[in-house]
Copies of this chain bind each other. A is one copy, B any other.
Amino acid sequence: MRFSKQRSIILEELKLRTDHPAADQIYLAVKKKLPDISLGTIYRNLEQLAAGGIIRELHYGKGQKRFDAHQTPHIHFRCLNCDTIEDMPMEITIPVPDTLHPWMQYREITDSRLEYLGLCPLCCKDKAGDTAGISAPIK
């Protein structure tokens, strides 16, 4: 894989962040260092990096795709209020379905996804305090 200035900076930005940004957020961030970069380039690079297994594309959630440069296995926690995705620090074991079950006979499982949903510290606090908080709808 070729490493243009754009690609490097996009990857670097993604590695720095822990909030699993969407393409447009990455665009805004990278634009500060490379004012002429285009959204198309962002998308093309995210695609390439994902294809190369260097980053991961998250299609949890409803709206845009989110991206993750973290490579160690981890579970995600998504805030239903502000939509931030955090990595959970504790170990959680995903159950393995009974492969002897007749239903599994002609099916093959290759992957699984687990995520938890709820309120992040900020939104938890806002919700408890008053009704001000973030304007995004809860749930």
A contact residues vs B (CB 8 Å cutoff): 57, 59-62, 65, 77, 80, 88-90, 92-95, 97-98, 101, 103, 106-121, 124-125
Contact = CB atoms under 8 A, between A and B. Distances in A.
A115 B116 contact: no
A121 B107 contact: yes
Contacts of A77: 107, 109
Given A59-B59, A94-B114, A112-B115, 13 more contacts: A77-B107, A88-B97, A89-B103, A92-B95, A94-B95, A95-B114, A106-B121, A106-B124, A106-B125, A111-B118, A112-B114, A112-B116, A113-B115
Contacts of A117: 109-113
Contacts of A119: 107-108, 110
